[in-house]
Amino acid sequence: MKKALLSIFLLGCFSLSLVACRLAAPGSIVFMSDRDGNGEIYVMPAPGTQAQAGASQVTRLTNSPNWEDEPCWSPDGKRIVYRSTNEIFVMNADGSWQTNLTNAPADYWFPAWSPDGKHIAFCAKGDGEVYEIRVINADGSGMTRLAGDPTWQNHPAWSPDGKRIAFVSSRDGAPEIYVMNADGSQVTRLTSDPLLPNFDPAWSPDGKSIAFCTYLEDGNREIFVMNADGSGLTNLTSDPYWDMSPSWSPDGRRIAYARVEDTDGDGRLTNSDAGEIFVMNADGSGQMNLTNNPANDLDPCWGP
C-alpha cells in the first residue's frame, strides 16, 4: 500500500513538473506582424526551448484597430510594453490588461524596460520635430526627460546593470550610437562614421557588447556588433537584405533580428516589403528564418 501511494505521489510530482515547464515557456520571442491585415503583437517559442516555431506555435496577443509594434518584455517575463499608434501601452504576457501608460497628445516610440522592471525609457516627440529620450515609472507616472539636446534622439536601450542607456542621436551630424548614465549625464559617443547612420542598439546580457543596425553606402542595412566602449566593430550579417532590430538571447549565445527584402525597390520600409524574424549565433553564423510568413514580421524581442 505504501509503495502504491509513493508511486502515485511521484507520478503526481512528475506531472506537475511537466505542467510547470509548459507554463514557464522560457525564451519566447515577441514581435510585430501584419499577417492578419493590421500591425499586431504576436509571440512564439524561441528555437531550442520548445517545438520549432511555426504557424501553430505563433500566438496573437493584441486585436486592435490601432497599429501596434515595438514590443519589449519586462525583465520578469510577466508583461510586455509596446507602441499602439502613437502611445506607449503595457499588457500581461498573455495579452490581457492592455493599458495606456502615456495618455498624452504626443508621438512616442521605442519603449524599453529597465532591468529592475521599475522604469520604461522611450522616444518622445518634443517641441517642433525634435525627438528626445524620456523615462517613466512602470505605472506611467513620473515622466522625466533625459539627454537634453535640441537634436534628434531615439532607440534607448538599458545596460544589463541598469546604470547606462545606449541610444541614437544626430547631435554630431549623422545618427550615431551614444551611451549615457541612466540619469542622462555623461553622454559618450561610441560610433564615428558620418557616412553610415546607425540605429537599434542592443546590449548583450553580460554588458560587454552592443549589437546595432548600420545603413551602408549602397543602401543596405546590416547587423554589427562592437565592444561596449565602441571598439572591435564586426559585421555579423553581410547579405543583400535589410537586417535590423537585434535582440540577444538571455544566455548571450544568439541574436534574433528582422530581415527585410525591399521587394518594391524604393529604398524604404513599407507594407509591401517582406519582413521575417531570423535568429543567428552571436558570431553571425547559423542564420535561420523563424517565421516563414509572406507578411511583414518585425521588431523581435527575446524574452527572459
Give the single-character DSSP code of 85.
T
- Domains annotated on the chain, with CATH: 40-302 (2.120.10.30)
pLDDT of residue 148: 62
- The candidate with the shortest Cα–Cα distance to 255, out of 179, 219, 215, 201, is 201
Low-confidence ranges of the chain (pLDDT < 50): 1-25, 50-54
pLDDT of residue 127: 65
Half-sphere exposure of 277 (CA within 13 A, CB side): 29
Q: Cα(first)–Cα(last) distance of the chain, in Å?
A: 44
Phi, psi (degrees; rounded to nearest 5) at 291: -100, -45
- What pLDDT sits at residue 265? 62
Residues with Cβ within 8 Å of residue 90, at least 6 apart in sequence: 79, 80, 81, 82, 98, 99, 101, 120, 138
Q: According to DSSP H, which parts of the chain are helical?
A: 2-24
User: Quick check: pTM over 0.85?
Assistant: yes
Give the integer Cα–Cα distance in Å for 78 and 57: 19
CA nearest neighbour of 200 among 257, 266, 142? 257
pLDDT of residue 151: 74
